[in-house]
Amino acid sequence: MADTLDYVEYEKGIRADGLTASVFTIVMTISVGIGQGIFNMGLTNAGYVAPVQGADGVWNVQNAATQNFISFSYIAIPLICLAVMAIIMIFLNVENHLPMVHEKLTAKRKAEAEARGEVYVSPAEKAALEEAQQAKEAEEKRIEELKAKCARKGLSFAEEEAKYQAALKAKQDKANAKKKK
C-alpha cells in the first residue's frame, strides 16, 4: 500500500495516507460485518445446530450440509479470493515505476527542504538517527537504574557494570559465531 501511496503522490502531487487508512478501515469494518452475516446465514440454511453434550457425554455432530458449508467457507472461498487477487495483481504494475517514482519524490522533498532552508534527511537516515537516539536513551536509563540498584544494595557500580559488559560481550561473541556458521 505504501508504494501505491507513493505513486499517487507522484501522479497527483498529494499524499493521501490518512484518507487511504480511513477508507481501508471503513471497508474492512463493513466487509467483516457483511461476511459474518453471510456466513451465519449459510450456517442457518445448512441446518447448523448449536453444540450440545448429550447425557452420555457425547457432543452432537453437525449434518453433512453444515460440515460441507464450513469446509467450503474456510478452504474454497479463500482459495477463490486468492486466485482473483492473483489475476488482479497481474495488471498492477506500480512496482515497475517505483525506482523512478522514489527518485523524483526524493528530489522533490530535497528541493522543498532546501527552499525552507533545511538540510534534507532521507527517511532511512532519519530512522537510523532516531534508532541511535533511542539506544542512547535506553543506555542512559540502564546506567541510571544500575546506579540506583547499587546504591540500594551497597554494591560497587564499577563491578556490576563490568559484569554487565562481560555478559554483553559474551552474548555478542556468541551471536557473531552463530552468524559465521
pLDDT digits (tens, 9 = 90+) for 74-111: 999 999 999 999 999 898 887 888 888 888 888 988 99
Q: Look at 66 and 121; give whichever has higher pLDDT.
A: 66
What's the pLDDT score for residue 5?
Answer: 85
Per-residue pLDDT tens digits for 2-16: 888 888 888 888 888
Domain extents for the chain? 1-50+60-120, 128-181
15 with 33: CB under 8 angstroms?
A: no
* Cβ within 8 Å of residue 52, ≥6 positions away: 59, 60
Nearest to 102 by CA among 116, 77, 79, 123: 123
- Is the whole model's pTM more than 0.85, yes or no? no
Per-residue pLDDT tens digits for 20-38: 899 999 999 999 999 999 9
Per the listing, cell 554487565 goes with 164
Per-residue pLDDT tens digits for 136-149: 999 999 999 999 99
Helix axes of 2-12 and 94-115: crossing angle, nearest 10 degrees: 60
| 64 pLDDT more than 90 | yes
Rounded CA-CA distance 152/169 in Å is 26
How many Cα atoms occupy the beta-carbon half-sphere of 89 within 13 Å?
8
9 with 105: CB under 8 angstroms?
A: yes
